[in-house]
Structure 1
């Protein structure tokens, strides 16, 4: 029973980190898609008034950025980070319940029998099967490992924030044009 208690608690912690990671990615990609869509729309309006705002091939540049934004939004939508975060949240809450039941198994002597142990093991297996698994990085984060051991996953989660450079660069000429007249 101690093994089930330990295993379910570790799984709970890793799934908690997975839920946090997925929710953070959902928010980051939403911010990125809103900023990219808004800035390309505004840049397209700006180029109607000042043709050379983005250089000689500005209209082609904006078309390419718009298409890449559309493709990114379709990919991000398909990843369903928000829905997966909610599913992972439900999973870690269920596994937390099992972990707590395993922890209190020996406290209630009337409940401490082989049948109850099998029921808890079965409930744990069902909880694992009913949701996606956490990543290795989620597990490592739950164990408070060194930051460089999760660097690739952190870089992946940081990418949507890095894409915010594009809207800033697109808005710069528009701001200059509006200020200069």
Structure 2
């Protein structure tokens, strides 16, 4: 006499595995954003401090020799002081330091959520072998709550840029077991139509340039160290 087999619940769900993958990639992207904002803060602080210092020293030198930087030296450095003040106000408005700190806090919360979601999915897969339906349903409820928490965390912070998301630092993690076993491609990797491929090809140059543009915006202000260095070098040779 055979006993009826227990009804089986679905072991793996695409949205649950997708939650693990998406949250992982999101927190990795926001690590990149936090680092980028922190670097921009350091770069602009360095530029503004050097510009302010060179302007102050140049002002003192002009008191001793008004012709040190030519006939219009005083006017040039007065204008330079105004530009430094304006730049400092703009950088203060950008609030790179505060945004970097907020992004760091957000990424840590998403990281914990991703780790918990991955642990629950693995636990669910183990329990499925025991056909423990009650425990699986409890895990499903926890995963649903994590999904809502994930959406709340996305809304709680500014978004990362596409270049932060596509950085090599966000890649390298294998897809979840659901995709590896079933062969189903996640939504972000579904095959595209011919029209979509043409559109993507047309914008491919822009996508390749975006990380370079972000790097230029981040490190480009260091070019402004050259005028400050030149001023200090001239004053050094004048004084000695």
Give TM class, smaller chain: over 0.9
* Runs of at least 5 residues in structure 1 that lack an aligned partner in the other structure: none
Q: Which runs of 4+ in 1 moved over 2 A?
A: 106-114, 146-149
Deviations 1:95-145 (A, max 9, x none): 10111011111233436533112101011011111111111121122446x
Cα displacement string for residues 8-34 of structure 1 (whole angstroms, at most 9, x for unaligned residues): 011011100000000001111111111
Look up the match of 2:156.
Answer: 130
Partner of 1:90: 105
Match of 1:23 in 2: 38
User: 2:228 maps to what in 1?
Assistant: 167
Length-normalised TM-score, structure 1 = 0.92
Distance in 1 (alpha carbons) for counterparts of 2:68 and 2:117: 65
Q: Which of 68, 72, 90 is 1:75 aligned to?
A: 90
Greater helix share, 1 or 2? 1
Q: CA deviation at 1:61?
A: 0.6
SS class of match (2:122):
coil
The size of the alignment, in residue pairs, is 178
- Give the TM-score normalised by structure 2: 0.70
Q: Cα–Cα, structure 1 residues 178 and 73, in superposed 2: closer, same or farther, change >3 Å?
A: same
- The structure having more radius of gyration, on CA atoms, is 2
Q: How far, CA to CA, are the matches of 2:110 and 2:170 in structure 1?
A: 17
